[in-house]
Amino acid sequence: MAISIKTPEDIEGMRIAGRLGAEVLDYITPFVKPGVTTGELDRLCHEYMVNVQGTVPAPLNYAPPGYPPFPKAVCTSVNDVICHGIPGDKVLKNGDVVNIDVTVITKDGYHGDNSRMFFIGEPSKLARRLTEITYECMWLGISKVKPGAHLGDIGHVIQQHAENAGYSVVREFCGHGIGKVFHEEPQVLHYGRPGTGEELKPGMIFTIEPMINAGRREIREMPDGWTIKTKDRSLSAQWEHMILVTETGYEVLTTSAGTPPPPAFIQKKDTVAA
Ligand code: MF3
Ligand code: CO
Ligand code: CO
């Protein structure tokens, strides 16, 4: 199966989906404070999607082969949770770090998938550095995207930056093609060698969403069938954007008023989301 090339109509639909996905993260930001539960954050995001945006949360009842239906609207992954944390009674406290991963489906059927890290009160030095390095990893990967580049170029820069910092790259989960389908080809690995893997072509859309552990890369699956934690209980961080391959480079589709700016070392492109 080949990687789909999106039509101009698809690309327009994905720009809208990306913006709406990012706007859910903008909306929830002021609520991510000590004392709030992950379940309350989920409820607020869900309500905003359905009642304000007219979108639908893609995770709710999502059930890939071998998984039970995901029971909530967003993923909330706290501290040593790598990804797919299920919102619930957990109360966020000073010093916690949480990833909130939002995927909306628009009325036209397009998916907008993105995630950000949030500090609860004052983070530890380690949590701050891990979160910053992971953000740089995502952006280094994004900066490699252009026609003629290979998926391995993206994985390589991410792995190199994470490991140079003394951290490790989670292998079991990766970025993915996306459109009217939530997860499609290609798999975007966050490790690899330059010049390997599929060649990028204009019109491809995929996510880059590195999961970086402060300790070892191994994972542990929780009995709920979804939650993934670090085996060694070390902290884990993740950021996610949805990227379009343009004729000259890339366009970040998950862009909103509140999108954090790229790291200073990223050259400003003429192709930013409208
Ligand atoms: N949003 C996640 C991703 O980046 C997928 C979450 S699937 C869920 O691919 F069911 F756990 F929500
Ligand atoms: Co994704
Ligand atoms: Co996501």
Model pLDDT, residue 143: 98
Residues around the ion ligand 3 (C-beta < 5 A)? 101, 113, 240
CATH number reported for the structural domain that contains residue 128 in this entry: 3.90.230.10
Question: Is the shortest distance between the CB of 239 and ligand 1 below 6 Å?
Answer: no
DSSP E strands, the chain: 56-57, 75-78, 81-83, 97-105, 111-119, 168-169, 175-177, 184-188, 205-208, 211-213, 219-221, 228-230, 236-238, 241-245, 250-252
CA-CA distances (angstroms) from residue 7 to 147, 207, 235? 16, 18, 40
In a domain, 69, yes or no: yes
Q: Residue 222 Cα, ligand 3 centroid: separation in angstroms?
A: 19
3 found inside a domain? no
The closest of 245, 243, 260, 258 to 203, measured between CA atoms, is 245
| pLDDT, position 274 | 43
Ligand nearest to the CA of 70: 1
Q: Which of 84, 99, 208, 221 to mutate to test the pocket of ligand 1 (most atoms within 8 A of CB)?
A: 84
SS3 132: helix
Q: Which pLDDT score is estimated for 116?
A: 99
Q: Do residues 114 and 254 touch, judged by C-beta distance below 8 A?
A: yes
In a domain, 1, yes or no: no
The whole domain housing 225 covers: 8-273
Q: What is the predicted pLDDT for the residue at 268? A: 67
Classify residue 17: in a domain, yes or no.
yes
pTM equals 0.97
Identify the pLDDT of residue 105: 99
Strands, sheet with 184-188, edge to edge from the N-terminal-most edge strand:
184-188, 175-177, 205-208, 241-245, 250-252
CB 80 within 8 A of CB 234: yes
Q: Ligand 3 centroid to 75 CA: how many Å? A: 8
Residue nearest to atom 4 of ligand 1 (CA): 113
23 in contact with ligand 1, CB cutoff 6 A: no
Separation of alpha carbons 255 and 45, rounded Å? 17
pLDDT of residue 269: 61
Give, for ligand 1, the residue of 25, 100, 101 to mutate: max count of ligand atoms closer than 8 Å to Cβ.
Answer: 101
Domain count within the chain: 1
Beta bridge partners of 187: 176
Task: Provide the residue-wise pLDDT of the chain in tens; the chain has 274 residues.
Answer: 799 999 999 999 999 999 999 999 999 999 999 999 999 999 999 999 999 999 999 999 999 999 999 999 999 999 999 999 999 999 999 999 999 999 999 999 999 999 999 999 999 999 999 999 999 999 999 999 999 999 999 999 999 999 999 999 999 999 999 999 999 999 999 999 999 999 999 999 999 999 999 999 999 999 999 999 999 999 999 999 999 999 999 999 999 999 999 999 998 664 555 4
249: in domain: yes
Whether 2 is in a domain gets the answer: no
Q: Please tell me the distance between residue 128's alpha carbon and the centre of ligand 2 in angstroms.
A: 23
Backbone angles phi, psi at 164, to 5 degrees: -60, -30
- Ligand 2 centre from 40 Cα, in Å? 22
Decide if 157 contacts 144 (C-beta within 8 A).
yes
Domain membership of residue 42 (yes or no) is: yes
CA distances from residue 148 to 68, 134, 198, 245 in whole angstroms, order as listed = 39, 25, 9, 10
pLDDT value of residue 267: 85
Ligand 1 pocket member 229 (CB < 6 A): no
On whether residue 167 sits in a domain, the answer given is: yes
Half-sphere CA count of 60, side-chain side, radius 13 A: 14
21 CB under 6 A from ligand 1? Answer: no
Which amino acid is residue 223, in one-letter code?
Answer: P
At 21, list the tokens: 């996905």
Nearest residue (CA) to ligand 1, atom 11: 84
Residue matched to tokens 């050259």: 267
Q: Is 59 in the pocket of ligand 1 (CB under 6 A)?
A: yes
Ligand 2 centroid to Cα of residue 27, in Å, is: 19
